[in-house]
Each structure stands twice: as C-alpha cells, then as structure tokens.
Structure 1
Amino acid sequence: MKTRSFVWRIISFTRKNYIWAVLLQLPRRLLPLVPALLVQQIIDHLTQHRQLDATIWSLLGLMLGYLLARVTALMAVQFTERLPMFKTETLLRTNLLEHLLSQPGAAALPRDSGDMINRFQKDSGNPGFFLVMGAFVFGMSIETLVALFIMARINMQITVIAVLPLLVGNIIVNTLGKRVEHYRRKSRETSSAVSNYLVDMFGVVQAIQVASATPNIVRRFHGLNNQRRVASLRENLFSNVVLGVFGTGIASISTGLILLLAGSSLRTGHFTIGDLTLFIAYMGGTIGRFSDEMIAQITRYRQLAVAQERLTELMPGATPAALVTPGSFYQQIATFDTPVSMPQIEERLEQLEVHNLSYAYPGTERGITNINLRLERGQFVVITGRIGSGKTTLLRVILGLLAKQEGEIRWNGAVVNDPTAFFRPPHSAYTGQTPHLFSTTLRENITLGLPLNEIQVQRAIHTAVMERDVEMLADGLETIIGPKGIKLSGGQVQRTAATRMFARSSELLVFDDLSSALDVATEQQLWERLLARQKEEHPITCLLVSHRRAVLQRADTILVLKEGRVEASGTVAELLLTSPEFRAIWSSGREEASV
C-alpha cells in the first residue's frame, strides 16, 4: 500500500474527529493576521497623519477581543487535535496485537522482542502525529493564502518576488526525500538494536554473572548505544541544519528582498511604512513559518513511509490494509465499559479425532508423522515416549500452536479448520511445560481479567493443590510474584498455571508434562482432586504428556511415540505385554521413583 493510501485510510477512520480538528485550525490560524493589520493602520496614522478607520479605543478593544478569541481557539484546538492522534495509535497497536495473537502460539515472532517494543512504541505514533500536523499545516496554508491576498492587493510585484525563493526551497527539500527516509530508517534500526540487547541482557543476568562477562556485556552495550547516538545525530543534523537552511534561511532572503524592493516604492509613495511593517510581519510570522512547516511536513511524510513499512513487517501474511482496518478485537475494546465474560460452549465434547496428523520443523526432519488419536468424553488419555519423540509437538499441532502440514482434526465429527482459534476456553485449556506468568499479583495471573468470584478462584486453587502455598505468601493472592513468577518455585509456577486452567470451565484439559516440576505426592493429590471434581460437576476429558507410573496407571488409553510416530497404544497391562518401547519407559519410571 502506498503511503498516500495509508494516510487516506487513517483520515477516513478518524474523519469526524479529524474534520473538527481541521475546521478549528481556521480561527486559530486566521486570527494571527489581525494584529499586523491593526499595526499597519496605527503606523500609517502616526507617519502620514491618515484618518484611522476606527478610534484608538476601538483598536484597543479589538486587540483585547483578539486575545480572548485566540486563547479560546487554542484551547479548543488542543482538545480536538489529540483525539485523531490517540485513535490512530489505538487502531494500529490493536491491529498489530490482534494479528500477533491470532498466529499459532509456538510460531516465532516476526522480529526480536526489543525491536517489536521499539516499533510498537515509536513507529505507531508517527501516523497520528502526521495527521495532527497535517491539520495544522492546512490551517497555515489558508492563513498564508489570505496573507498573500492582502499583500498582493497592496503590491503584487513585491509579493511575487518575495514568495519565489520559498517555492524553490520547498521543491529542493522534496527532492531530498530519499535521504530523509535513509536517515530515519537507520536511526530506528540502531534504536531497535539497543532495545533488543537490553531485553536479551535482562533475560540472562544470572548467566552473565556466572560467566563473569559483565565487562564484555557493558562494552558491547556501549558500542550499540554509540551507533544509535551517531545515527540519531545524523538524522537530527540533516533535518534541523540542512533542511532548516531551506526554511529559515530562505525566509530571511525573502525578507531581505522585501526591504530592497520597498525602498523605491516608498520614495514614490506607492508603499507606506505601515505596508512595509505588514509585509515583514506576514513574511516572517506567517509565510516564512508556513514554509518551515511545509518542509517539516514533507520530512514527516518521508518518515511516515518508514514507520508504515516497519509496522507492516510485524504482520506477515496479512493484507496491507489490515493494519488500518478496524478488526473484531478493536470493536470489542472500543468501549471500556464492555463487560468481560467467558464465551459459552455451543457443543460439548463427545469425541475428538485426529487423523494422519503430520508436522516437520522447517529445515529438519524432526516432528510427527501420520498420527491417529481418538478421545471420548471423560477419558484420561496419556501420551508418553522418550525425549525428542514428538510428544510436545503433537500437543502443539492439535491445539494449533504449530500449523499442521497434513491431516485433520475433528470435534464431534466436524472438521476443525482453524485449531488456533478453536482450541481455546471453553473448548479447551492448556498448561505447557514452561508456563508464562506476568509480573503482577497471583490473583491477576489466575483470572487474567476474567470476572471470577472468590468461590471460583478458591475452588481452582484447591484443585491445583495450591491453598497452602497461597497461605504462606506474604499477601496471599495479592502478592506480586515478580517477572516471570520469580518469587515462586518451579512447582508453584506450574500449579499457578494449572489453577488458571481450572478457573476456566473447559471441555478438554491439556497438560504438557505437569510432572516435571511437581513431586510425586503433590501430583497424585492433584489428579485425585481433579477426578473428584469430575464426579461432582461433569465429565472432564484430559489429554496429557507424562512418563510417571502413577499417571500412566490412571490412563484409559496410552499413546506411545517413537521418532515422531505412534509406536503402540493401549492400557498399561496391554503395552507391558506388547511394546518393548513402553517397557523401557516403564522401567525408567521405576528408576526415577527410586531416586
């Protein structure tokens, strides 16, 4: 999408607010023309003893009225011009988030975390600011046209000669647009490199300390920061010095031409001192500033093209228009008082079928091949296998966290075309091997904005065997758990994620090796409570990865994977008789238990 189309779509999106912002620029910009006209009248009265069109008191009254009107116009503009800017930022950031959240969960981000933060924070603000300044420049253009009309009525020749240098300057600046884009792109890239490095550095602080690598890390950071400083300095020098010459410098040339040409006209009496004062005031304060702002707006337009390019890169696979088209997510958050509620299940799970499911990681042969699986309502199905056998990959492909390459998934016989969107609460809930927690309270990590009452929260905590842990925390559920849950143990992190899952009533519960951070007794208690809850409420279907004997013995069906394929399936008793692979896994479970 071309930049002008991008701008037009944003204007169309904010058209009501933007029209008001543009219209209110007219009184704001036209009012500054009044003082020069009044001064012209007063000076001509003093120097040539002309009759004033009004009394001195009337002029003073006009000046006071002008000041009050100017203040009122400025206040109105300050309020209205912010709305298009904020709405545009909200639209862009919301669409970016919606696109990212709609992608398979295990897919890589289009850019590094630091770079994405930089683009979200800085580039998303450029379009809105461009719109606001566009309204301002439009108001200045009307002001300039009126000023030129007044000047032309006084002396056409001086007006034309004074304006020509400004036109030439704007044409030259427009030809330098590519350089503007180059410097802006370089500045943004080096800034993103610094952000990336900071994110990576904070994520491996312990590794840096253990390796005694702090001096090298700091030295590298200084190097990146210096590159950013140089790139920003070059952009600012080019924008403020080189381009400034064609703004302020040429405006000064125009003022000098007025002074030179006015001399002969003053001698002939066709030009008065008041006229000269008005010309200089308009040239320096109105037309000269308009030239500066036009040059700046041309620069901002080129910078906007870079911002548009960088934001579009965060939406791979989407149409260019998706960035500026209000999506369903934007419609939902358009009103802050929209109640948040859990979607209601339309069709309860009776049967989940997986047919010939295949996936290979890009550039490798690792993955899963022709997997077939069948779950009935209320079943407890366990996937087991050695390390690297494809257990986690299978779960992720079923849930849409990885995009399947072959095969199909059926929910009650109906094909699930978009697993990423389908396998969410209330259809399914998932706890991964390494759950992600936020640096907020334990309660907020459990609810994630869902309006759960205290009974629902406490029931989920009880099911996850978390009640004693909560009691031991300083502020209970209101305890801030720190970045990634650093104040919790590995087992507490796992059970917090499990609590979050249990708080949402879902038809299918999926666990990826919940045993990895839990002791045998705690895990056994968790499964007992979950199955007891199943008897009290409704049948719960579970699909999980585990190699522990206690879990395998509870399973209705066990799926044994080897090198991405189903090696065998059945109950513990059946597999011990028929599957050497399962017997090896069973033996390793005994050794682990003895340790």
Structure 2
Amino acid sequence: MASAQRSSSAEGRGPTVRNLTLKLMGLSPWWYLTNAVAWSSAHAMPLLPGLVLKVFYDGLASNAPATLSPGLVLALLTSIGLTRAATTFGAEWLWGGVWHFMTGQVRLNFMRLIAGLPAAVATPKSSSEIVSRVRDDVDEACMGLEECVDGPGVIAFAVGAIAIMAGIDWVATAMVVIPVMLVSLSVHLAHTRIIRLRTRSREAGAAVAEFVGEVFNALLAFKLAPTSRGLPEAFAELNQERRRAAVAEKLLSELFDFSNSAVTAVFTGALMYYITVTRGDNAFTVGEFVLFVTYLDRITEYAGWVIWMTGNFKRAKVSISRIAEVVPTGPTAHGLAGRNPIGLATSELTVPSSQEDRLERMEVQDVCFRYPDTEGGVSDISLVLPAGSFTVVTGRIGSGKSTLLKALLGLLPMDRGTLLWNGETVTDPGRFMTPPRAAYTPQSPRLFSDTLHNNITLGEQVRDDNVDAAVHTAVLEPDLDQMADRLETAVGPRGLRLSGGQVQRTAAARMLAADAQLLVVDDVSSALDLRTERLLWNRVLSHVEGGPDHEAAGPPTCLVVSHRRRVLRRADNILVLKEGRLEAQGTLEELLATSPEMQVIWSQASQEAEELDRSP
C-alpha cells in the first residue's frame, strides 16, 4: 500500500503517458508519421487476402464462370504477402532509428535533470537504482510511442473487418467482437491491480540492484566483519521478494492471455454452430465462411495485442512515476522529451582564461539556505573576500560551516541572497564558481575509478610542473614513492585502494592544480595524522603567501573551514557560526576578546591541535 501511495504521489508530479508520447512524436513528426504509415499499412493489409479468397471460393461454388482463376489468386496472394513483408521490414528498420533517437533524448534529458540538481543535495535514490531507472524505466515510459505506431493499422483492420463481416451477418460479427470487448473490459477493471503489481515488481528489482551496489561499495567492511553469513541471507530474501513480485505480475499477464484465448475459443465454437446449424437455409456461402475464418484468426491475434497494449500503457505510467521520484520538482513532458544535442552545449564548454574576470573582491549578501523538513542550514550571512585574503570559517559541529561553502559554490540552491564577483551579480553560482575562478576541496572528497593523475587533472590539459607542484604541496610525494606506477596508479572505485588521508590529499592536489583564483577548503586535514597535517598546512600556507607563480597575479584568495589554531592565527578575517547564523567576525585577537563563542571554540581545541601549533 505504501509503495502504491508513493507511486501515486510521484505520478502527480510527472507527465502523463499521453503528454510524454505526444511530445516525443513532435521531436521528429515526419519521421514518426512515415513509420506509423508503414506499420499501419502492414497491419491493415490482411484485409485483402480475405476478400480475394471470398471472391475466389464464391466463384467456384457458383455455376457462373470463375471470377478469379487459381493462378491469378496465387499471384494476388503472393503479391500481397511480399508487399506486406517488404513493408514490415522497412517499418522495422525505420522504427529502430525512431525508437533509439527518441528514447535517447529522454535518457539524455533525464540525466540532465539529475545533473541539474544541486550537487550537494543527495538524490532520493541510490546510484544503482538510478542506473536501473535510466536504463529500464525510460524504455517502458516510452512504450506509448510503439503502441501509437501499431494502433492505427490495428484499428483500421478491425474497423474494416467488422464492417465487411457485419454486411454479411451482424450476429456472427457480434460473436467475433464480443470476446475482445470482454477481455478489454476485464483489463480496464484490473487497472489498480496491474499498477500495484507492476510497481511492486519494479521496486523489488531495484532493491536487488541497490543491494548489489551497496555490497561492492562496502566490500572492505564485509571483509572485516566477524561473519558474513547474513549477507547471502539478505540477498536471498531480496531475490525471493523479486521472484514473488515477478511471478505475480507474470501470472496476471498470463491469466489475461489465457482468458482471451478461452473466451475467443468459446465464441468461435458458438460462431461455427451458428453458421452451420442456426442459419439453416440462409447458410453462409463458402466464400463468406472462408472470409470469416480468415479474419477471425487475425482479430484473435489483435485482441491479444489490445491486452499487451493496455499493459504497456500501465507499465509506462508506473515507469514515469518512478522517473519523477528521482527529480524532486517533478519532470515535465517538455523537460523529458525536449530536443537537445548529445553532449554539452557550447556555452557549457566555454571556460574563462585564468586572467579573465580576475578576482578583486567577492561579496556575499544575506545568504540563506534551509534543508527541507529540517531546521538545519544557514541564515542571513554576509561576508567580503578581498583579493589575496585568507578567511576562515569556524564553529562547532552542525553550525553550518560546510553548508555555507556549498551555498556559495552553487552546490546548494540559495533560498535567498546575492553573490557578487567584482561588483557583478552571479546569477548561476554552480556554473560560475568553477576553475579557473574557484576550486574546492570538500570535507569528504570523491574520487573516480581512474589513475591518480586523472583524478588530479580531471581530464584537463594541466602542465606537468603544475601537477608536480600540486602533488608536493599536498604532501603526496612520499605516497608516490611507495607506488610502482606513481601518478598512473589506479585508485579503484571511489578511491577504495587509498587511505582516507590519501584521498583527502589527492583532492587537495586536484584543487591546487586548477590554479584557481579562489581556493575553498572544507577541513582538508580531518583524516590526516599529526605530522602530515602539520606539513600540509605549512606547504598550503606557503603556497598561499606567494611564490614565483604568484608574482604577476598575486596569491590566491582563500576561504577555509578549520578549527586549527595555526590556521586561525594566519587568518585575515574569521567568521564564527552558531546554529546557522553569523555569531561574530573579525581577527583572532578581536574575537578572543569579544566573542564568548570564539572563546569556547579556542578552549576546546584538542591537545593534538595544540601540539601541531607548537611544532616548528
């Protein structure tokens, strides 16, 4: 019941199957229309053999000369068959291009919507489940396209066949049509059950994929666990639930198929009895009987298609709701089916040169962000960062330090506030605050499953001396000496082969190699030992205070989260946060004299931090 409620809620945010299908058709209307005409012709062509056979057999049964000779009948049927085969082949070939183009656009737009979410806001689903939705749910969400391609031809055949048969005998025609109507009605009445079973099946499959992903991500934890017997048991339980859900869904589908076959068989028997017994002297001609039998087989096949089509529309509805769950604001039909080029737009690839918009002064005015459904966040914070300044943000745990940095970088959407770069308003911080303007090292960095070198450069063309300097400043050289491949060492998924401190220092080297004007650092030394931390801060501060690389452009501007005394002493300006608000700001001496909160933070510094301060 809960899953059905969640699906219903998400469904309200997403587009309807109809709107999405119409929008997708509009991406390439002539291409789609040509394909629809081809398929409609292929589905409607079976009307012709029935008419040809009726004329032929009626001619044989009468005393008049045969209207059609056997040779001509054979030629006509062969021509119709070959034409239908060629049309079907062409339609199938064309459909492959239409399908992959349109589902590709939906996947691209879905990924753009996910990528457009604030980077620091976690998606409501795991990465494994999102992959499942991008791969599988997109295909099923677009099933309306396929049914609308087949539908006109199926309807054309059904209308034509019913009109021809009704002209011969409307009672017999009703015996052919009633089974289709009964099965379609039963499918409609089972709408809620179909949706619930489909949702359960998709969620059970996603749970298995998510579990497998989590196992691989936490492989080290399982290796260190005293026993791992619970792992296969949990996996078996999830697979059992997936099996039950899949069997229940398949059973319902097969039940409808069986019902269609059984009802059709009963009514076919009734039709045969009616034709041969009930009509008496008004019995069918041989040609009429052959026509009914020919059309009956095709109508039975298309009745199965009606069931399949109805099921596909139900599946599409569920898949659209699952897609909507990933994007909190709910995607629109235009958002999912809009035409976009493959890859990044030219404007997204444009990167300013290192001298363009050189930072002279950055201002932040009344920044506010609150996490949904919580009291956490920051409110009404303003600050100024002159070029070359070293500003430290400090505060107790949960005071909003990391949140403030993420809001300034566009990783969290500001609820209110203004960001000014050299007096100019920055409307999109997420795209603006990137290298070479700004570089960022988060508190918990993430690495790619690639080499150290590629994790530092992120695929950019960075001079070797810049990479070497960044590695030196980040104190990575001793680690490289222990690695046979040095910078070409593969770090494993998410840096699994590196220690926590090595991951942090790799992220610091990545930031330094970007040669950015503004360095944003969030507690870079939290996973480092005492000696490495001291050395790292010595080198970072030396880098900031200037050197040959800074003579022309000046030292970078720094915004740093830290509670280390050495860093606080170096700060030009300190911001003290408390419960998401700016409690005080100023130099260390001013704050120690006037701010009780700063006095508490300073006094609570650990003995380890004090040893670091006293070390040379």
- TM-score for both structures, normalised by structure 1: 0.84
User: Which residue does 2:157 correspond to in 1?
Assistant: 143
Distance 2:129 2:269 in 1: 48
User: Which residue does 2:4 correspond to in 1?
Assistant: none
Of 338, 342, 352, which residue of structure 2 is paired with 1:344? Answer: 352
Distance 1:56 1:339 in 2: 69
User: Which residue does 1:438 correspond to in 2?
Assistant: 448
Choose 563-572 or 111-120, whichever is displaced more: 563-572
CA contact (8 A) 2:275 2:283 kept: no
- Where do residues 445-460 of structure 1 align in structure 2 (5 Å cutoff)? 445-446=455-456, 448=458, 452-453=460-461, 455-456=462-463, 459-460=466-467
User: Which residue does 2:406 correspond to in 1?
Assistant: 396
Question: How far did 1:588 drift?
Answer: 5.3
User: Which residue does 1:119 correspond to in 2?
Assistant: 133
Distance 1:335 1:105 in 2: 19
Distance 2:194 2:30 in 1: 32
Of 375, 380, 387, which residue of structure 1 is paired with 2:385? Answer: 375
Of 330, 334, 342, which residue of structure 1 is paired with 2:342? Answer: 334
User: Which residue does 2:5 correspond to in 1?
Assistant: none
In structure 1, list runs of 5 or more residues that go unmatched: none
CA contact (8 A) 2:576 2:582 kept: yes
User: Which residue does 2:308 correspond to in 1?
Assistant: 296
Question: How far did 1:483 drift?
Answer: 0.9
Which amino acid in structure 2 is aligned with residue 302 of structure 1? K
Distance 1:19 1:462, change over 3 A: farther
Distance 1:477 1:147 in 2: 72
User: Which residue does 2:262 correspond to in 1?
Assistant: 249
- Where do residues 202-281 of structure 1 align in structure 2 (5 Å cutoff)? 202-241=216-255, 243-264=256-277, 268=281, 271-281=284-294
Of 109, 118, 131, which residue of structure 2 is paired with 1:95? Answer: 109
Question: How far did 1:470 drift?
Answer: 6.3
CA contact (8 A) 2:440 2:519 kept: yes
Distance 1:510 1:257, change over 3 A: same
CA contact (8 A) 2:276 2:283 kept: no
Choose 81-90 or 298-307, whichever is displaced more: 81-90
User: Which residue does 1:544 correspond to in 2?
Assistant: 560
Distance 1:226 1:467 in 2: 50
In structure 2, list runs of 5 or more residues that go unmatched: 1-14
CA contact (8 A) 2:129 2:209 kept: yes
Distance 1:50 1:335, change over 3 A: farther
Indicate whether 1:412 and 2:422 are aligned.
Answer: yes
Alpha-carbon RMSD across the aligned residues, in angstroms, is 3.8
Distance 2:81 2:303 in 1: 25
**Secondary structure, counterpart of 1:104 in structure 2:** coil
Of 187, 190, 195, which residue of structure 2 is paired with 1:181? Answer: 195
Choose 97-106 or 531-540, whichever is displaced more: 531-540
**Secondary structure, counterpart of 2:121 in structure 1:** coil
CA contact (8 A) 1:154 1:275 kept: yes
Which amino acid in structure 1 is aligned with residue 558 of structure 2? C
Distance 1:101 1:59 in 2: 61
Which amino acid in structure 2 is aligned with residue 108 of structure 1? A
Distance 1:485 1:179, change over 3 A: same
Identity %: 32
Distance 1:318 1:184, change over 3 A: closer
User: Which residue does 1:309 correspond to in 2?
Assistant: 321
Distance 1:181 1:349 in 2: 56
Of 491, 502, 506, which residue of structure 2 is paired with 1:496? Answer: 506
Indicate whether 1:591 and 2:611 are aligned.
Answer: yes
Question: How far did 1:181 drift?
Answer: 1.4
Question: How far did 1:287 drift?
Answer: 1.0
**Secondary structure, counterpart of 2:308 in structure 1:** helix
**Secondary structure, counterpart of 1:7 in structure 2:** helix
Choose 478-487 or 225-234, whichever is displaced more: 478-487
CA contact (8 A) 1:84 1:131 kept: no
CA contact (8 A) 2:362 2:422 kept: yes
Question: How far did 1:512 drift?
Answer: 1.3
**Secondary structure, counterpart of 2:153 in structure 1:** helix
Distance 1:311 1:380, change over 3 A: same
Distance 1:2 1:128 in 2: 11
CA contact (8 A) 1:37 1:278 kept: yes
Of 70, 86, 110, which residue of structure 2 is paired with 1:72? Answer: 86
**Secondary structure, counterpart of 1:516 in structure 2:** coil
Which amino acid in structure 2 is aligned with residue 296 of structure 1? W
Distance 1:301 1:458, change over 3 A: farther
**Secondary structure, counterpart of 1:13 in structure 2:** coil
Distance 2:433 2:258 in 1: 60
Which amino acid in structure 2 is aligned with residue 227 of structure 1? E
Choose 343-352 or 362-371, whichever is displaced more: 362-371
Number of positions where the alignment pairs a residue of Structure 1 with one of Structure 2:
586
Indicate whether 1:424 and 2:431 are aligned.
Answer: no
User: Which residue does 2:12 correspond to in 1?
Assistant: none
- TM-score for both structures, normalised by structure 2: 0.81
